[in-house]
Amino acid sequence: QSALTQPRSVSGSPGQSVTISCTGTSSDVGGYNYVSWYQHHPGKAPKLMIYDVSERPSGVPDRFSGSKSGNTASLTISGLQAEDEADYYCCSYAGSDTYVFGTGTKVTVL
């Protein structure tokens, strides 16, 4: 299983919006609506931000939203805040009870 492709980094000023793409294949992202996104501050436990492509767990601000088109999923952070600075990973079900993560994107708040 090859890792899903994410941009290495994205950045934005406070209040702006940033979008992170996550590109896979028809065997993972394109084949299932089981894409999730995780926020990871170094040294801490990863945190679930989006599941089932666009669903938000309780407690996650509505500034975070997800979508999917074909083999590419996206995470958008609107109204960027300083505490959003972290690494973000997408993850997709890949069939046969396995999963594949993305390469990870570092979000920098300027």
Partner 1 sequence: EVQLVESGGGLVQPGGSLRLSCAASGFTVSTIYMTWVRQAPGKGLEWVSVIHNDGSTYYADSVKGRFTISRDISKNTLYLQMNSLRGEDTAVYYCAREYYWKLDHWGQGTLVTVSS
Residues contributing to the site for partner 1 (CB under 8 A):
1, 3, 34, 36, 38, 40, 44-48, 51-52, 57, 89, 91, 93, 96-104
CA 29/CA 25 separation, integer angstroms: 6
Terminal Cα distance for the chain, rounded: 35
The string of DSSP letters for 76-93 reads EE-S--GGG-EEEEEEEE
CB of 38 to partner 1, least distance (A): 7
Cβ proximity to partner 1: between 4 and 16 the closer is 4
CB of 70 to partner 1, least distance (A): 19
